[in-house]
Amino acid sequence: MTSVNERYLMKTHMLDFDHPEIQALIQDRGWKRLVPYEAIGAVYAFVRDEILFGYNRDDSIPASEVLKDGYGQCNTKGTLLMALLRAVGIPARIHGFTIFNELQRGAIPGVLMPLAPSRILHSWVEIQWDGQWVNLEGYIIDREYLTKVQQTFAGQCEQFSGFGIATPCLSQPQVDWSGQDTYIQKEGIADDYGVFAQPDDFYRKHGINLSGAKRLLFRYLLRHWLNWNVDRIRRKGIPDSYIRTRESPR
């Protein structure tokens, strides 16, 4: 019989941390040689900043595919984070939610917003640390992209929603590992679906964000447009035309 703790360390189809590329990454970075606090911080920083914010073909792809893509969003980056943490001995589980789609406005061009569901499937990772479960969500937005948004809306330390971010203080969001919770989209949560030991079970129960023709359109066309838009913001900042045509998102 699998113990409770073993459930939060096991490999699954999605958490395929025995994949050669994942094992090579762990070996090259020396994460298994670190003490747990430092290992969590190193893995977390890698997923946050070296796996860029972007849109994969599907929410339920395995961790090895997220690593190969080199980008992801809340759900897919969370899968990779869970896999890497379990691989270095840190118990991890998934907490499922939905978020209001308005927090994606800007990252998703306005013309595409009507195609997005009003509530988008969302998740964050919880880890066992210091005798309790700690919430990790601040890994979703990479530092370079976040900095460009902060530069456009400089000095804002009030409720902010847009560009894939929903935080009470844009200038000082809770995104750095310090042994405590981290958040970057928490203020946009709509529904709470509870915790799951395995992401496979979460997606099996709640599905994914799109289905049918919309799913195919997103997979083969629209996500490439979204990724182009996000990358443009990361490299050049938010276009002046966007700022002129709408108020600052709050």
What residue ranges do the domains of the chain occupy?
A: 4-245
Cα distance between residue 8 and residue 18, in whole Å: 15
Closest CA to 122 of 183, 52, 171, 48: 183
Residue 245: what pLDDT?
Answer: 55
Please name the amino acid found at residue 2: T
Residue 249: what pLDDT?
Answer: 47
Q: 110 vs 77, which has greater pLDDT? A: 77
Query: How far does the chain reach from its first CA to its final CA, in angstroms?
Result: 49
Least reliable range by pLDDT among 20-34, 68-82, 102-116, 225-239: 102-116
Residue 154: what pLDDT?
Answer: 80
Calculate the average pLDDT of the chain. Answer: 92
Confidence of residue 217 (pLDDT cuts 50, 70, 90): confident
Cα distances from 33 to residues 8, 14, 41, 236, in angstroms, run 21, 25, 13, 38
Residue 110: what pLDDT?
Answer: 87
Cα distance between residue 87 and residue 170, in whole Å: 32
Q: 115 vs 16, which has greater pLDDT? A: 16
Q: Do residues 23 and 63 lie in contact, with contact meaning Cβ atoms separated by under 8 Å?
A: no
158-201 pLDDT tens trace: 889 999 999 999 999 999 999 999 999 999 999 999 999 999 99
Arithmetic mean of pLDDT, 1-16: 86
Partners of 160 in beta bridges: 167
* 4-245 belongs to CATH 3.10.620.30: yes
Arithmetic mean of pLDDT, 80-99: 98
140-166 pLDDT tens trace: 999 999 999 999 998 777 889 999 999
- Residue 211 predicted with pLDDT over 70: no
Give the tokens for residue 102. Answer: 């308005």
Please name the amino acid found at residue 172: Q
